[in-house]
Amino acid sequence: MSTLFDLTGRTALITGSVRGIGYALAEGLAAAGAAVIVNSRQQAAVDEAVGKLQAKGYAARGLAFDVSNEAAVQAAFARLDQDGVEVDILINNAGIQFRKPMVDLALSDWQRVLDTNLTSAFVVGKEAAKRMIARGRGGKIINIGSLTSEAGRATVAPYTVAKGGIKMLSRAMAAEWAQFNIQANSIGPGYILTEMNTALIENPDFNAWVKASNPAGRWGQPEEMVGTAIYLASAASSYVNGQIIYVDGGWLSVL
């Protein structure tokens, strides 16, 4: 059997992975052979997610920290160094949404969304890449974008700007780190059934719009991001760099 997609022997840190897309990615990478590090801001949620993964027989450990706090990110990586844990695969997945018309949007809310969804990927990516470069055996970085990496939507300006930035951050990472055999790519999920979208899922008009405007005629499931993540985390994508792959049921392909 091909070992192209085998992640055995690799360690993956997935930020924001106690639920939703991040948890699905942690479980999916673990099933492909990786040891996974689960993260969120809440220690109890991290412990619970690690417990669920371990109960399935996967190698999992937890690391609670806030991706928007540089000192906390640095302390988390120092802890991994102390424990001899080397991150081969980083998925910058942690994110928040905040909906408000731009004319009513406070600068502090704009900044919070940018810090959590974009600057965090630079800060966590920098700590991971420094170590990948020093070890000299390459690495994989996957940044989670969105349909808004490509297209605008009303009331989500900072999220749209952050996710557009994620697409370009992957390219900037590729430009600087490809020489160290690090591949940095993005995944752009369509509308996925997670807690982030609770209000939209419960809104019948929005639900009808999703089903009518997406050629797949439905929302996506978090688990449907896993195949692309394994591809971008594995040797199968060793010459793929700076790309964004939309996993959206074909949404961005139609008008």
Residues with catalytic annotation?
159
User: Toward ligand NDP, which CB reaches closer, 191 or 231?
Assistant: 191
- The stretch near ligand NDP (CB under 6 A) out of 26-34, 51-59, 66-74, 98-106 is 66-74
Stretch 125-184 residues interacting with ligand NDP (CB under 6 A): 144, 146
User: Toward ligand NDP, which CB reaches closer, 181 or 207?
Assistant: 207
Binding mask 94-133 for ligand NDP (x = CB under 6 A): xxx-------------------x-----------------
* Closest alpha carbon to 163 in 230, 217, 201, 117: 117
By CB under 6 A, tell whether 191 contacts ligand NDP. yes
Smallest distance, ligand NDP to C-beta of residue 6, A? 25
Cα atoms in the 13 Å half-sphere on the side-chain side of 166: 38
Which one of 66, 88, 127, 224 is in contact with ligand NDP (CB under 6 A)?
66
Say how far apart CA 142 and CA 173 lie, in whole Å.
10
User: Toward ligand NDP, which CB reaches closer, 96 or 105?
Assistant: 96
- The stretch near ligand NDP (CB under 6 A) out of 88-96, 121-129, 173-181, 210-218 is 88-96
- The stretch near ligand NDP (CB under 6 A) out of 18-26, 51-59, 123-131, 228-236 is 18-26
- The stretch near ligand NDP (CB under 6 A) out of 1-9, 39-47, 209-217, 227-235 is 39-47
Give the binding-site size for ligand NDP (rule: CB under 6 A): 30
Say how far apart CA 10 and CA 88 lie, in whole Å.
6
Binding-site ranges for ligand NDP (CB under 6 A): 15-22, 39-42, 45, 66-68, 93-96, 116, 144, 146, 189, 191-192, 194-197
